[in-house]
């Protein structure tokens, strides 16, 4: 049976400012991977961690992707590019961690849906 994660589990890892209802919504979405995680034989401890990371990934991307500047030890402002300027799970440090874990394919299946494009053709 799939591991159930809680708001508290996510708050332990995610240091952003998301409220409880936002976190619960993300948890509910991540739970869509449960059947796949179970059928793939992913162990309970791995399910717990990958689901927490998936929730943190979604919250990070939703918040804009993370820090791009900070102050160094001398108080000087230091700016840097977001190294996770990619698509899908590569958009956050949490998503990057998921990439090497057992059950990655289950999380990718719910998050990295192919984007479809179409061309409108006007038949007259």
Domain ranges across the chain: 7-111
pLDDT of residue 115: 46
pLDDT tens digits for range 68-79: 555 666 777 655
Q: Given this model, what pLDDT does residue 82 score?
A: 45
**Bridge partners of residue 29, in order along the sequence:** none
CA–CA distance, 20 with 106 (Å, rounded to integer) = 25
- What pTM does this model have? 0.73
Distance CA 17, CA 39 (A): 34
pLDDT per residue over 10-44, tens digit each?
A: 999 998 888 999 999 999 999 999 999 999 999 99
């Amino acid at each position: 049976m799939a591991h159930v994660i809680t708001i508290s589990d996510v708050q332990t890892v995610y240091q952003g400012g998301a409220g409880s209802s936002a976190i619960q919504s993300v948890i509910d979405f991540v739970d869509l991977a449960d059947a796949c995680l179970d059928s793939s034989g992913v162990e309970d401890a791995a399910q717990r961690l990958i689901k927490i990371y998936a929730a943190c990934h979604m919250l990070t991307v939703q918040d804009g992707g993370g820090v791009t500047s900070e102050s160094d030890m001398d108080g000087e402002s230091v700016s840097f590019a977001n190294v996770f300027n990619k698509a899908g799970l590569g958009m956050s440090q949490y998503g990057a961690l998921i990439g090497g874990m057992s059950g990655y394919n289950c999380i990718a299946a719910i998050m990295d849906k192919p984007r479809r494009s179409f061309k409108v053709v006007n038949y007259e």
